[in-house]
Amino acid sequence: MKVCGIEISGNEAVIIVLETSGDEISRINTTVKKMTLSNDENQSDINSFKDAILNFLKDNDISAVAIKQRAQTGRFGGGGLTFKIEAIIQLYEKDVKIINGKTIALKTKNIDLTKFEVKKYQEEALKAALSIL
């Protein structure tokens, strides 16, 4: 089973792909680490982002997607652009889950993240993916 963890920040979707084999979980090193929606007011840019992200998920045979939830309101609330990105990802034909940050923290607190050898900016996407495995 392959799962994709995604953290949306600003105009970027940070992406991690994990694969399970029995009890083993391993990271798949993809060439794509993040995708950017350049201009959310331009229909062509939105369609290009949609095609890129959905083709990435399909081409990598992703079984499930976990997106780290963002606050909808308040000081740390996500902007409108982040919700557009989230909606585009939710168009994927397989299971897409929005996972609360507290749930992610609880499910991943005893997991050694260093074995996955990810960059610091990828850690939240990694935790999102691990939280649905």
pLDDT of residue 72: 66
71 Cβ contact list (under 8 Å, min separation 6): 77, 78
How is the chain split into domains, by residue range? 2-131
Structure tokens at 114: 């260093």
CATH code of the domain made up of 2-131: 3.30.420.10
The C-alpha atoms of residue 45 and residue 87 are separated, in whole angstroms, by 15
- Report, as ranges of residue numbers, the positions in the chain whose pLDDT lies below 70: 72-78
The model's pTM is 0.92
